[in-house]
Amino acid sequence: MSTAIAPVRQLDARTVDELRQAAEKILDEFGTSATSPQLLERVAEVAGEFGDTLRHHCRPVDTADGLFVLRGLDVDDAAVGPTPASWSTAGDSGAIHDITLLLLATVMGNPIAWEGQQNGRFVHNIVPSPGHETEQTGASSTVLLSPHTEDAFHPGRAHLLMLGCMRNHDNIATTAASIRNVRLSDEDVDILTRPALPILPDDAYAEAQGYADEVAPAVPTLFATEDGLTLRFDPAYTPVEEADETYRAAYQRLEAELARVSVAVSLDPGEVLVVDNDLVVHGRVPFQARYDGADRWLKRASVRVPGRRTRPLAEAGEHGYGQAALEAHAA
């Protein structure tokens, strides 16, 4: 794995000030960043008034790396307070940054949330949590968070994943690997574009894991579009051992290739990593959490892009393990 010099889109001072004033005005009006139809409606109204400069910075990912870093936002380390002990106790910690991220997400597309995750909020707090150190979720710390597509189990998963850095004193890196940078044989691509195995819900979706009314659908790992390959990948929640030897071998070669091209992106406070969730698998290196209020703290938003054709049409028939995606505004 190499340390990445990710493509950077630098926000100018005027644009940063425009964003800050808009977020402050919305927070003053509602007094919270917690999800409500009225808050989401106001965010959509304000985002629709932003000028071309910000919209240019929020244009689609346009490199094979499948990601970029939006730079220039301000985070006051003292003012945001201590890193929350868990998402469930975070409440409105860093609420101004929730709204800022939601505004950016709305310029990029349609923000989504999940009824069964973090109380349906559209911006999540990603922090290490005691008792969750070894899980394959954002609350873990001591283990490698395996490279994966965000919410790979669900047909309504995001097209874009946004990770805004609030605090990262220890320079803990997010890992990323693009399917457009790997080298696979035509035979492996052919094997992996066939639906063979399900992707099961991860540990953040307790209700989905108990969903037993329907058979888990087999889904393709790769999908060929006019622009190139996309992927749907989460080995920690894919029963690869149930596939035949040929499929397992192809899957393992894909894993090895993603590891070969993987890069590490260490975010500074105020930076927002934007990842194309159809092209890039992301993860996180292991670290030792201190639980002293100064641990790594990210804000996460998920975005659908209307009209995008990067997934098999057959996905529309999947049950999604009973999980419902909430969309901030109509496509």
Express each pLDDT in 15-70 by its tens digit.
Answer: 999 999 999 999 999 999 998 999 999 999 999 999 999 999 999 999 999 999 99
Compute, in degrees rounded to 10, the torsion defined by CA atoms 306, 310, 123, 47.
Answer: -30
Share of the chain above pLDDT 90, in %: 81
For residue 220 the two structure tokens come to: 């393709």
313: tokens are: 């049409």
- Does pLDDT of 322 surpass 90? no
Confirm if 172 and 287 have CB atoms less than 8 A apart: yes
CB within 8 A of 326, min separation 6: which ones? Answer: 35, 112, 113, 114, 115, 120, 122
Q: Given the structure tokens 């000028």, which residue do they identify?
A: 51
In eight-state DSSP terms, residue 172 is P
Give the pLDDT mean for 103-118. Answer: 93
Query: pLDDT band at residue 325, thresholds of 50, 70 and 90?
Result: confident
Q: Is 153 exposed, middle or buried (0-12, 13-18, 19+ CB in 10 A)?
A: buried
Query: In this predicted structure, what is the pLDDT of residue 139?
Result: 85
What sign has the CA pseudo-torsion 163, 165, 170, 171? positive
pLDDT-derived band of residue 215, with 50, 70 and 90 as boundaries?
A: confident
**298 vs 5, higher pLDDT:** 298
- Domains of the chain plus CATH, in order, are 7-306 (3.60.130.10)
pLDDT at 331 over 50: no
In Å, the largest CA–CA distance within the chain is 59
CA 306, 308, 311, 317 torsion-angle sign: positive
Torsion of CA 45, 51, 56, 59, to 10 degrees: 10
234 in Cβ contact with 147 (< 8 Å): no
The CA distance from 57 to 60, in Å, is 9
Nearest alpha-carbon partner for 325 in 55, 120, 35, 65: 120
- Bridge pairing between strands 110-114 and 222-225: unpaired
The residue ranking higher by pLDDT, 103 or 310, is 103
pLDDT at 213 over 60: no
Query: Each residue of 245-280: pLDDT tens digit?
Result: 999 999 999 999 999 999 999 999 999 999 999 999
Contact 126, 163 (CB under 8 A): yes
Percentage, residues of the chain above pLDDT 70: 95
Instruction: Give the pLDDT band (50/70/90) at residue 4.
Output: low
pLDDT at 119: 86
Report the mean per-residue pLDDT for the chain: 93
Strand 325-327 versus strand 110-114 pairing type: antiparallel
Assign 186 to helix, strand or coil.
helix
Question: Which tens digits make up the pLDDT trace of 171-198?
Answer: 999 999 999 999 999 999 999 999 999 9
CA atoms within 13 Å, Cβ hemisphere of 291: 12
Q: The pTM is what?
A: 0.94
3-state secondary structure of 247: helix
**269: CB partners within 8 A, 6+ apart:** 75, 77, 165, 166, 167, 168
Over range 292-308, report the average pLDDT. 96
Question: What one-character-per-residue DSSP string does 51-112 give?
Answer: -HHHHHHTSPP-STT-EEEEE-----TTTT-SPPSSHHHHTTTTHHHHHHHHHHHHHHSEEE
